[in-house]
Structure 1
Amino acid sequence: MTVATLPAGPRSPGFTHTIQLLVGRTRAWRRWRARYGTAFMVHTPRLGRTLILSEPAEVKALFTAPTDQVEMVNSPLAQVLGPGSLFALAGDEHRKQRKLLTPPFHGRRLAVYEQLIEQETVREMNSWPQGREFGTMESMMRITMNVILQAVFGAEGAEFDELRELLPKLVLVGSAVAALPVPRGLLGRYGPWARFTRLRHRYDEIVEILIDRAATDPGLSEREDVLAMLLQSRYEDGTAMSRGEIADELLTLLTAGHETTATSLAWTVERLRRHPDLLARLVAETDAGGSALREATLLEVQRVRPVIDATARTVIAESLPLGRWILPRGQGVLISIRLMHDNEELFPNARTFDPDRFLDVRPGTFSWIPFGGGTRRCIGANFATLEMNVVLRTLLRDFTLEPTDAPDERVHFRGVALAPADKGRAVVHRRAVRSDRIAQADPARARA
Structure 2
Amino acid sequence: MEFSLAAFPLLILAAWLEGISWAQLGVLLVLATIVYNTLLAIYRVLLSPLANIPGPKVAAVTYLYEIYYDVWQGGQYFKRIAEMHEKYGPIVRINPDEVHFNDPEFIDVLFPGPARKTDKHSSLGRRTGTQDSIVATVDHDMHRKRRNTINGFFSIASIRRLEPIMQESMRKLLARMATAGETGEVLRMHFVFKACTSDIITKYAFGDSFHFLDEDDFATPYMEASDFFHLFNHAMCHFPIVGTLLAKAPVWAIKTFIPGLSDMWDKREMWLEQVERIKASPNPDRFKDTIFEGILSSKLPEEEKTNARLAHEAQLIVFAGQLLVHPDMYQRLREELIVAIPDPSQIPCYAQLETLPYLHAVMQEVIRLHPGVVSRLTRVSPTRPIEYIDQRHGKTYVLPPGTPTNMTCQIAHMNPKVFQDPYTFNPQRWIDNRRLDRAFIGFARGTRNCIGMNFARQEMYIILATILLRYDVYHGQEGPTLELYNTTRERDIDIVRDMIIPFPAKGSAGLQLRVRS
**TM (normalized to structure 2)?**
0.68
Q: Choose which of 406, 411, 416 in structure 2 pairs with 1:334.
A: 406
Amino acid at match of 1:233: S
Q: Report the CA distance between 1:4 and its aligned residue.
A: 5.0
Pair 1:427 & 2:508 matched: no
Q: Report the CA distance between 1:50 and its aligned residue.
A: 2.4
| Partner in structure 1 of residue 94 of structure 2 | 42
- Conservation of the 8 A alpha-carbon contact between 2:196 and 2:212: no
SS for the counterpart of 1:102 is: helix
Q: Are residues 27 and 154 of structure 1, via their aligned partners in 2, closer, same or farther at CA, if it must alter by over 3 Å?
A: same
Show CA shifts across 1:337-390 (max 9, x none): 222112234323333211112238656565100111111101001101111111
| Partner in structure 2 of residue 295 of structure 1 | 360
- Conservation of the 8 A alpha-carbon contact between 2:58 and 2:65: yes
Question: After the TM superposition, which of the residue ranges 146-155 and 317-326 deviates more from structure 2?
Answer: 317-326
- Conservation of the 8 A alpha-carbon contact between 1:138 and 1:423: no
Q: Are residues 316 and 132 of structure 1, via their aligned partners in 2, closer, same or farther at CA, if it must alter by over 3 Å?
A: same
| Partner in structure 1 of residue 461 of structure 2 | 389
- Conservation of the 8 A alpha-carbon contact between 1:231 and 1:240: no
| Partner in structure 1 of residue 380 of structure 2 | 314
Q: Choose which of 101, 107, 127 in structure 1 pairs with 2:156.
A: 107
Q: Report the CA distance between 1:393 and its aligned residue.
A: 1.1
Count residues with an aligned counterpart.
Answer: 408
Amino acid at match of 1:75: S
SS for the counterpart of 1:75 is: helix
Show CA shifts across 1:219-273 (max 9, x none): 347x4222233333335xx9895244444333333323xxxxxxxxxxxx2x112
Pair 1:281 & 2:281 matched: no
- Conservation of the 8 A alpha-carbon contact between 1:313 and 1:332: yes
Structure 2 CA distance for aligned equivalents of residues 3 and 208 of structure 1: 45
Q: Report the CA distance between 1:157 and its aligned residue.
A: 8.0
Q: Are residues 207 and 412 of structure 1, via their aligned partners in 2, closer, same or farther at CA, if it must alter by over 3 Å?
A: farther
- Conservation of the 8 A alpha-carbon contact between 1:52 and 1:335: yes
- Conservation of the 8 A alpha-carbon contact between 1:32 and 1:40: yes
Q: Report the CA distance between 1:424 and its aligned residue.
A: 3.6
SS for the counterpart of 2:490 is: coil
Question: After the TM superposition, which of the residue ranges 356-365 and 55-64 deviates more from structure 2?
Answer: 356-365
Structure 1 CA distance for aligned equivalents of residues 214 and 311 of structure 2: 18
Q: Report the CA distance between 1:301 and its aligned residue.
A: 0.6
| Partner in structure 2 of residue 438 of structure 1 | none
SS for the counterpart of 1:312 is: strand
Pair 1:251 & 2:315 matched: yes
Q: Report the CA distance between 1:141 and its aligned residue.
A: 1.1
| Partner in structure 1 of residue 273 of structure 2 | 206
- Conservation of the 8 A alpha-carbon contact between 1:318 and 1:328: yes
| Partner in structure 2 of residue 351 of structure 1 | 423
Q: Are residues 304 and 100 of structure 1, via their aligned partners in 2, closer, same or farther at CA, if it must alter by over 3 Å?
A: same
Q: Choose which of 106, 111, 123 in structure 2 pairs with 1:75.
A: 123
Show CA shifts across 1:289-330 (max 9, x none): 264222211110110222323201234337432333111344
- Conservation of the 8 A alpha-carbon contact between 1:72 and 1:313: yes
- Conservation of the 8 A alpha-carbon contact between 2:50 and 2:97: no
- Conservation of the 8 A alpha-carbon contact between 1:136 and 1:424: yes
| Partner in structure 1 of residue 446 of structure 2 | 374
Show CA shifts across 1:389-425 (max 9, x none): 1111121122322268964233342621113443442
Q: Are residues 26 and 73 of structure 1, via their aligned partners in 2, closer, same or farther at CA, if it must alter by over 3 Å?
A: closer
Question: After the TM superposition, which of the residue ranges 409-418 and 372-381 deviates more from structure 2?
Answer: 409-418
Structure 1: 5+ residue stretches without partners: 257-268, 432-448
Q: Are residues 159 and 232 of structure 1, via their aligned partners in 2, closer, same or farther at CA, if it must alter by over 3 Å?
A: farther
- Conservation of the 8 A alpha-carbon contact between 1:343 and 1:350: yes
Q: Are residues 424 and 156 of structure 1, via their aligned partners in 2, closer, same or farther at CA, if it must alter by over 3 Å?
A: closer
Q: Report the CA distance between 1:174 and its aligned residue.
A: 5.0
Structure 2 CA distance for aligned equivalents of residues 212 and 39 of structure 1: 48
Q: Are residues 405 and 153 of structure 1, via their aligned partners in 2, closer, same or farther at CA, if it must alter by over 3 Å?
A: closer
Structure 2 CA distance for aligned equivalents of residues 109 and 252 of structure 1: 20
Q: Are residues 289 and 307 of structure 1, via their aligned partners in 2, closer, same or farther at CA, if it must alter by over 3 Å?
A: same
| Partner in structure 2 of residue 58 of structure 1 | 106
Amino acid at match of 1:114: E
- Conservation of the 8 A alpha-carbon contact between 1:296 and 1:355: yes
Structure 2: 5+ residue stretches without partners: 1-46, 255-264, 342-352, 390-395, 472-480
Question: After the TM superposition, which of the residue ranges 200-209 and 316-325 deviates more from structure 2?
Answer: 200-209
Show CA shifts across 1:137-159 (max 9, x none): 01111111111111111235899
Once superposed, what is the RMSD of the aligned Cα atoms? 3.9
SS for the counterpart of 1:371 is: coil
| Partner in structure 2 of residue 116 of structure 1 | 165
Higher-RCO chain (CA-CA 8 Å, sequence separation at least 6): 1
SS for the counterpart of 1:88 is: coil
Q: Report the CA distance between 1:3 and its aligned residue.
A: 5.7
Amino acid at match of 1:321: E
| Partner in structure 1 of residue 233 of structure 2 | 178
Amino acid at match of 1:312: T
Structure 2 CA distance for aligned equivalents of residues 192 and 93 of structure 1: 23
Q: Are residues 274 and 157 of structure 1, via their aligned partners in 2, closer, same or farther at CA, if it must alter by over 3 Å?
A: closer
Amino acid at match of 1:41: R
Amino acid at match of 1:419: F
Pair 1:138 & 2:191 matched: yes
- Conservation of the 8 A alpha-carbon contact between 2:272 and 2:311: no
Structure 1 CA distance for aligned equivalents of residues 279 and 214 of structure 2: 18
Structure 2 CA distance for aligned equivalents of residues 159 and 340 of structure 1: 34
Structure 2 CA distance for aligned equivalents of residues 250 and 406 of structure 1: 33
Q: Are residues 159 and 121 of structure 1, via their aligned partners in 2, closer, same or farther at CA, if it must alter by over 3 Å?
A: closer
- Conservation of the 8 A alpha-carbon contact between 2:134 and 2:147: no
Q: Report the CA distance between 1:165 and its aligned residue.
A: 9.0
SS for the counterpart of 2:466 is: helix
SS for the counterpart of 2:364 is: helix
Which of the pair has more CA radius of gyration?
A: 2
| Partner in structure 2 of residue 413 of structure 1 | 497
Amino acid at match of 1:402: E
Structure 2 CA distance for aligned equivalents of residues 296 and 388 of structure 1: 13
Identity fraction in percent: 20
